[in-house]
Amino acid sequence: MARFLDLPIRQKLVVVGWMTSLSALIVSCVVFVISAYFIGRANALIGSDILASIIAENLTTSVLFDDRATAGETIRSLRATPTVNLVCVYNANGILIAQLAKTAEHGCPVSPPPDQRAAAARTLTVVRPIVATDKRAGTLYLESNVVRLTEQLRLQGMAAAVGGLAGLLIATLVAARMHSRIAQPIISLSATAAGISRGGSYAVRATKSSNDEVGRLVDAFNDMLSGIEKRDEELRAANQMKDEFLAALSHEMRTPMNAIFGWLQILRTSPKGADVADEAIARIERNARVQARLVEDLLDISRIISGKMDLKLVPTDLTQAALASVEALRPSAEAKHIDLRAEVPDTPCMVSADPVRLQQVVGNILSNAVKFTAEKGTILLRVESRANEFRLSVTDSGIGISKEFLPRVFDRFRQADGSITRQYGGLGLGMAIAHDLVKLHGGTLEAESGGPGMGATFTMTLPALLQREGISPASVASGTVSLNGLRVLVVDDDDDARRVAAEALTGAGARVVSASNGEDAMKELASQEFDAFVFDVQMPAIDGFALLKLARQLEWEKGRFTPAVAVTAHAYAADQSQARAAGFQRVVVKPYEFSALKSAIADSIRS
């Protein structure tokens, strides 16, 4: 059966055709021969009876007048009839008066058997009266054989078989054409598919020659090809977009880096205490922040795409966030002489939001406006209170957005065209992130524009938080944290990172002990006590998690517990929750502001 399944469809059809015809032929032959046998026997018996009745009729007078010679003559006429075996004539008294025995098997019975018409396996026996007028004048016994019948049957069977085989042959020849009708579309479809998978074009289509299952298969196949072709096109477009994005990313990374290296060289070559130093430091810092922002944006996009953006939703005043962003953007607006104004209500506009993210959204919208607004343009930020929501709109007098690009303004990695990227820089991530963040907050962000040169308006809507009373807005910026007199153990294998952390904490009044690996750290732990740990997570030999485990063991023996802060370059929430699970009280993600590290230590001690 398995071998049958492996046959090509054309041969399968031939085999199936043969099998059906052959079985039909065999069955009909058998039925024909069997029925012919029974019909033949019945006919032979009838024939035998007719023969007997004719002979009996001719024997009437011979029997009546006891003319044995004539009786013998009459039955001798049956000598030439091959089926007749034995003929016996009895007179009315049951005395045998004439007989004809052709086979020596047995002679005539002494007295006549009872009248009968019987068919045995090999002989047919007819015993019938010889009647004169209406009286019985004697008895005729006629025994025939069925040799002719079996001979006939053999001939008929052979004829049926020969005829059937001839029919089968003709049927096969006729079927060969039909077979190719059925198999050809499948074969050509298969060839088309093979051609495509060998690297042919997806633009090829299979030809449909019928409306049956194969025809539907061809349709489905062609639909599939269309789908693949479209997907292929999309893939190519996405690939091209990714290439463009990578080029842009590289450009965006290099520009601030170039500035940083440049100002570093100036700093190194200028004499100590020169005036240029302050400007150099300020410029290096700004460019480093631009780079950090870039990395942060990339991470945000990655978080949003993978659904790992964790929002810490707390009651937040939209107005405050908006004003803080306006102030943050004011320097860059003023650099372009842009008139940046804000109109806000005098009551707090409380929404449920992650304050850092909310400020990021408004900042992105504003910086986008600043970026695309020409010198001496205007930007107006307005916060309005509606029935159940707050609306923040930013209207600029910038280059505007074309009708074609408007629906894709929030697509990731996209700016209206390459020339805009070259002219204005940026990765086209800011608005995409803003849009996604607003959506995560349960709000909407929409763009409107009268067209190129007509400026644009971005409108964010956030649902209002219902309970307005007794809620103090969370502070976005934390004040200065004092770590006065705290003993902190800092462990990091990276020299710079360790130095930076030590510097930051010392500046806040802490006494810092540093170690570059787990082994040294354990030595310090054995010799003295600390108020807080700051461990890098990724270190060779003993990583931060293992080190904390060892430290906690040591402390447990001494009956102490020191709060711990993990520092990691892994920005994902999963890494942070892993660190918390390992026993760290706080997690700080690199790169960090000094204030973030300091408040993390302070928080960890407080909790």
Q: Which residues bind another protein (CB under 8 A)?
A: 58, 60-62, 64-67, 70, 91-93, 95, 132-133, 135-137
Q: How far is the CB of 90 from another protein (least distance, A)?
A: 11
Q: How far is the CB of 95 from another protein (least distance, A)?
A: 7
Considering the complex, state which of residue 131 and residue 171 has its C-beta at the smaller distance from another protein.
131
Q: How far is the CB of 66 from another protein (least distance, A)?
A: 5
Considering the complex, state which of residue 137 and residue 280 has its C-beta at the smaller distance from another protein.
137
What is the torsion angle, in degrees rounded to the nearest 10, for the CA atoms of residue 113, residue 118, residue 124 and residue 127? 30
Considering the complex, state which of residue 68 and residue 148 has its C-beta at the smaller distance from another protein.
68
Considering the complex, state which of residue 136 and residue 403 has its C-beta at the smaller distance from another protein.
136
Q: How many residues belong to the chain?
A: 607
Q: How far is the CB of 112 from another protein (least distance, A)?
A: 14
Considering the complex, state which of residue 58 and residue 156 has its C-beta at the smaller distance from another protein.
58
C-alpha 375, offset from chain centre: 52
How far, in Å, CA of 462 to CA of 460, rounded?
7
C-alpha 382, offset from chain centre: 46
Considering the complex, state which of residue 73 and residue 234 has its C-beta at the smaller distance from another protein.
73
Residue 474: closest CA among 388, 603, 356, 362: 356
Q: How far is the CB of 55 from another protein (least distance, A)?
A: 13
| Joined tokens for residue 191 | 């060839």
How far, in Å, CA of 40 to CA of 157, rounded?
13
Provide the edge-to-edge strand list for the sheet that holds 564-568.
511-515, 487-491, 532-536, 564-568, 586-589
Count the Cβ atoms, other than its own, within 10 Å of residue 68: 15
Q: How far is the CB of 129 from another protein (least distance, A)?
A: 11
How far, in Å, CA of 140 to CA of 155, rounded?
32
Considering the complex, state which of residue 134 and residue 469 has its C-beta at the smaller distance from another protein.
134
Q: How far is the CB of 120 from another protein (least distance, A)?
A: 31
**At 357, which amino acid appears?**
R
Asked if 89 and 71 touch (Cβ cutoff 8 Å), the reply is yes
Maximum pairwise Cα distance, the chain: 172
Q: How far is the CB of 140 from another protein (least distance, A)?
A: 15
SS3 for 88? Answer: strand
Q: How far is the CB of 70 from another protein (least distance, A)?
A: 5
Considering the complex, state which of residue 58 and residue 578 has its C-beta at the smaller distance from another protein.
58
Query: Which spans in 406-543 are helix H?
Result: 418-424, 430-440, 495-507, 518-527
Residue 488: closest CA among 510, 509, 503: 510
Q: How far is the CB of 141 from another protein (least distance, A)?
A: 18
Q: How far is the CB of 64 from another protein (least distance, A)?
A: 5
Q: How far is the CB of 100 from another protein (least distance, A)?
A: 18
Bridge partners of 456? Answer: 396, 449
Q: Going by C-beta distance under 8 Å and a sequence separation of 6 or more, which residues neighbour residue 105?
A: 85
**What does the angle CA 360 – CA 362 – CA 368 come to, to the nearest 5 degrees?**
95
Considering the complex, state which of residue 21 and residue 61 has its C-beta at the smaller distance from another protein.
61
Considering the complex, state which of residue 60 and residue 172 has its C-beta at the smaller distance from another protein.
60
**Does an H or E element contain 306, and which?**
helix 276-306
DSSP per position, 352-382: EE-HHHHHHHHHHHHHHHHHHS-TT-EEEEE
Q: How many CA atoms lie within 13 A of 14 on its CB side?
A: 13
Asked if 208 and 220 touch (Cβ cutoff 8 Å), the reply is no
| Joined tokens for residue 465 | 């938080």
How far, in Å, CA of 246 to CA of 249, rounded?
5
| Joined tokens for residue 563 | 């709060």
Considering the complex, state which of residue 133 and residue 211 has its C-beta at the smaller distance from another protein.
133
Q: How far is the CB of 154 from another protein (least distance, A)?
A: 40
Considering the complex, state which of residue 95 and residue 158 has its C-beta at the smaller distance from another protein.
95
Q: How far is the CB of 57 from another protein (least distance, A)?
A: 8
Radius of gyration over alpha carbons of the chain, in Å? 55
Asked if 123 and 146 touch (Cβ cutoff 8 Å), the reply is yes
Considering the complex, state which of residue 132 and residue 311 has its C-beta at the smaller distance from another protein.
132
How far, in Å, CA of 515 to CA of 497, rounded?
12
- Dump strand ranges (E) for 469-561: 487-491, 511-515, 532-536
Considering the complex, state which of residue 29 and residue 64 has its C-beta at the smaller distance from another protein.
64
C-alpha 323, offset from chain centre: 48
| Joined tokens for residue 546 | 């293992």
